[in-house]
Amino acid sequence: MTTVELHGSVQLASPPFPVQWLTWPIAFIASIGLVLHADVLGVNMVAVSGACIVGTALLLIGLEFVWPVEDKWCMTWRSFARDIQFFAVNGATIFATNLAFAWIGVELGKGHSGVLTGVPLFLSVPVAIFVVDFFQYWQHRIAHEAPGPFGRFLWRSHAAHHLPEQVYVLMHPAGHPVNTFIVRGLVTILPLYLLGASAETVVLANMVIGIQGLFSHTNLDLRAGWFNYIFVGTELHRYHHSADTEESGNYAVALSLIDILFGSFIYRPGRVPEQLGVYDPDSYPRSGQVARIMLLPFLVRRQNASTR
């Protein structure tokens, strides 16, 4: 393992070259290939895509233990106990949201078609990913930047994801059910329904976005070079979690092209933020105070503007 000096006290621990440069593209391409192969063979695509996401998560968790970027960003027993609580809350929310929107889709979708109906996968999947990420980008950016009661409500619903002062794979589900419902239901499932996307398109688009979420939150020095100008990875999203609001852009979930298009792209190769979390942590519950965090969106008191 090599260590590179970065701006004084911040150091970047680098894994071997094959791990650093090949983990992301191999996992990305292999997952898409496996799901497409399952479709050809008539195997359940949902099960295969789920297995790909779980397998990728386990791989990244293992690598994080061996080559973490920062030891202070590693999972601890205390943070794991926090993450389990968020897993339970958001797992139930995702299940209920999927069930509700699936029922609505069945009732409203009889004879429904859209612009992606009948479109080949090699076209429908990229379009579906772009449209979903476009809506997620603006919901995400509004939650961080918009003033007024609506903006504050969205931020307080989203803040749970930024309270941890570490970023690693298993903290990814840290969040509030309100934010989960908005992101999962209103800006993901609903647009795909309106587009008339096929089941295969939905599975592939969701898997790509899910895998990107895992890689963007890993505590590993994974490099992607020019690929960072297309997809969001750990080099980009780690800066989104920076406590310094001047460098916490990168609002897109999957496609960094959208950040480039709207001027929120932050890319600093070989560097990491000095501090993760929120600008003014004393204005919020601690990341492990899950019960208090659940109340945060419904508090009427005005947050200091400096805390986003």
Residue 30 lies in a domain: no
Least confident of 8-12, 122-126, 289-293: 8-12
pLDDT digits (tens, 9 = 90+) for 233-256: 899 999 999 999 989 999 999 999
What pLDDT does residue 109 have? Answer: 52
Write down the pTM of the prediction. Answer: 0.89
> So what's the pLDDT on residue 234?
92
Q: Measure the CA angle with vertex 85, ends 82 and 89; round to 5°.
A: 145
Any domain includes 12: no
Query: Model confidence over 145-164: pLDDT tens digits?
Result: 999 899 999 999 999 999 99
Any alpha helices (H) in 10-163, and if so which ranges? 17-41, 45-66, 77-108, 121-145, 148-158
| 171 within some domain | yes
Residue 237 domain boundaries: 78-217+226-307
Q: Please state whether beta strands 2-6 and 10-14 pair in parallel, antiparallel, or not at all (unpaired).
A: antiparallel
Whether residue 265 lies inside any domain: the answer is yes
Question: Does any domain span residue 48?
Answer: no
Q: Distance (Å, rounded) from C-alpha 215 to C-alpha 24? A: 7
Nearest CA among 222, 231, 233 for reference residue 260:
231
14 sits in which H/E element: strand 10-14
**What value does the mean pLDDT of the chain take?**
87
18, 21, 27: which is closest to 208 by C-alpha? 27
Domain count within the chain: 1
Residues 6+ apart with CB under 8 A from 204: 32, 35, 36, 45, 49, 121, 125
- Is residue 273 assigned to a domain? yes
Any domain includes 103 = yes
* Residue 40 falls inside a structural domain: no
Examine the pLDDT at 287 and tell me if it is beyond 90: yes
Q: Which tens digits make up the pLDDT trace of 57-110?
A: 999 999 999 999 999 999 999 999 999 999 888 877 876 776 666 566 555 555
How far CA 49 is from CA of 26, 27, 37, in Å, comes to: 15, 12, 11
Percent of the chain with pLDDT over 70: 88
> 8-17, 260-269, 275-284: which has the minimum mean pLDDT?
8-17
* Residues in Cβ contact with 106 at an 8 Å cutoff, skipping those fewer than 6 apart: none
Q: Smallest Cα–Cα separation from 130: which of 205, 216, 224, 24? A: 205
Tens digits of per-residue pLDDT, 20-60? Answer: 999 999 999 999 999 999 988 889 888 999 899 999 999 99
